[in-house]
Amino acid sequence: MIISLIRDRRRVFPLFVLSCVGAATLAGGCVGPRPGDRIKRCGDEIVVCGQFFHTGVPVVLWLDPKGYDAYRIENRFESGGRDSIPVRKGATPNRYDSVRRHLSEADAAIVRADGWSLSMLQQYVDLFVLHYDVCGTSRRCFHVLHDRRGLSVHFMLDLDGTIYQTLDLKERAWHAGPANDRSVGVEIANMGAYEDPAELDAWYQRDSAGRVVLIPPLTFGATGLRTAEFVAMPARAELVRGRIHDRMLNQYDLTDAQYASLTRLTATLCRVLPRIRPVAPRNVDGEIRSTVLSASELADFSGILGHYHLSESKVDPGPAFDWPRLLDGVRRCR
Ligand SMILES: [Zn+2]
């Protein structure tokens, strides 16, 4: 009976899970999935401590063809020898750290010896930091961040809603200064916010149908967008004006595709790393704050932040970023 079942590996597999030692012995150690069987992915998975989690929206990993690999120490786009690599802190050509520095001594020793477990990462990561890239496309963002500035971020979100993951979330990416230890970050493709709206004229133009569209900058001759002929219309056609810190700024909104993917990504993070709460800092009136948090406010907060909540010198993700759209969407996903 056992021998006849083993001949049909697909049918016997569920039984094999329950009795693998005996079956493996009888079959000479070769039952269950065949060596070399390909594991199918859906193309929507992110990686956290080596485990795959679905998001429901397109994700390209650093492992994938045309992915962006922040583990590599060489430049991605610009040629040059080892001397051209930006070396930070005088010790490593890496653009990230494998140990988050707010670990207890005992946990840091465990991570050094055995690596991260998901349960340990869940204790230590409680912030999701949103940036815009002032690059317009994820391809150009990686070029500037990795090749030129020697920095890193876990995710990039392109105009067409494609999410690129560049590092496992266990790594301490270099994107948010003192919040790097506690956070996961995303760079959202957008041309940014300016006091003078004329700064945006070079990138946002009306097409033949009269729609305002972002004409993404070409880096090395290509946008890198995965969606051919993608038309990058801001979710709101009009320029959005608003105050960040004490500065009145003008900015065009993200695309609908970016909101759809960011919502699903945020909902995924809030579930996989549950100390990241689906909330953003608010003022006493209940409005999303547009000012920096004090050190004690930041210490007490866990959830979703803009970069401007961390530093007075930063204004991303800008006044056009639609916080209620993100937060309401995340609640509906849960
Ligand atoms: Zn930023």
Ligand 1 midpoint to CA 151 (Å): 11
DSSP assignment of 242-307, as one string?
A: EEETTEEEEEPPPPHHHHHHHHHHHHHHHHHSTTS-S---B-TTSPBP-SPPPHHHHHH--EEEEG
What are the pLDDT digits (tens) for 194-205? Answer: 999 999 999 999
- CATH 3.40.50.1970 matches 45-194+228-333: no
* Distance between Cα 47 and ligand 1 center (Å): 22
Mean pLDDT value across the chain: 88
- Report the pLDDT value the prediction gives residue 135, as an integer from 0 to 100: 94
Q: Give me the mean pLDDT over the 189-194 stretch.
A: 97
In angstroms, what is the span from residue 132 Cα to ligand 1's centroid?
6
Specify the higher pLDDT residue, 2 or 186.
186
Of the spans 18-27, 143-152, 276-285, which averages the highest pLDDT? Answer: 276-285
| Residue 99 Cα to ligand 1 middle (Å) | 22
Listed by start position, the domains of the chain span 1-39, 45-194+228-333
Torsion angle, CA of 133/137/143/149, rounded to 10 degrees? 0
Cα of 88 vs centre of ligand 1, distance in Å, is: 19
Q: At 86, is the pLDDT very low, low, confident or very high (cuts 50, 70, 90)?
A: low
- This prediction has a pTM of 0.88
Structure confidence at residue 221 (pLDDT) = 80
What lies within 8 Å, CB to CB, of 227 at 6+ separation is 160, 162
Question: What's the mean pLDDT in 208-212?
Answer: 90
Report the pLDDT averaged over residues 254-282. Answer: 98
**Does pLDDT of 157 surpass 80?**
yes
Q: What is the mean pLDDT of residues 41-47?
A: 97
Cα–ligand 1 centroid distance for 334 (angstroms): 27
- 308 Cα–ligand 1 center, Å: 8
288-318: pLDDT as tens digits? 999 999 999 999 999 999 999 999 999 999 9
- Residue 247, pLDDT above cutoff 70: yes
Instruction: For residue 217, name the pLDDT band (cuts at 50, 70, 90).
Output: confident
Percent above pLDDT 90 for the chain: 72
Cα-to-centroid distance, 311 and ligand 1 (Å):
9
Comparing 7-11, 153-157, 269-273, the range with the smallest average pLDDT is 7-11
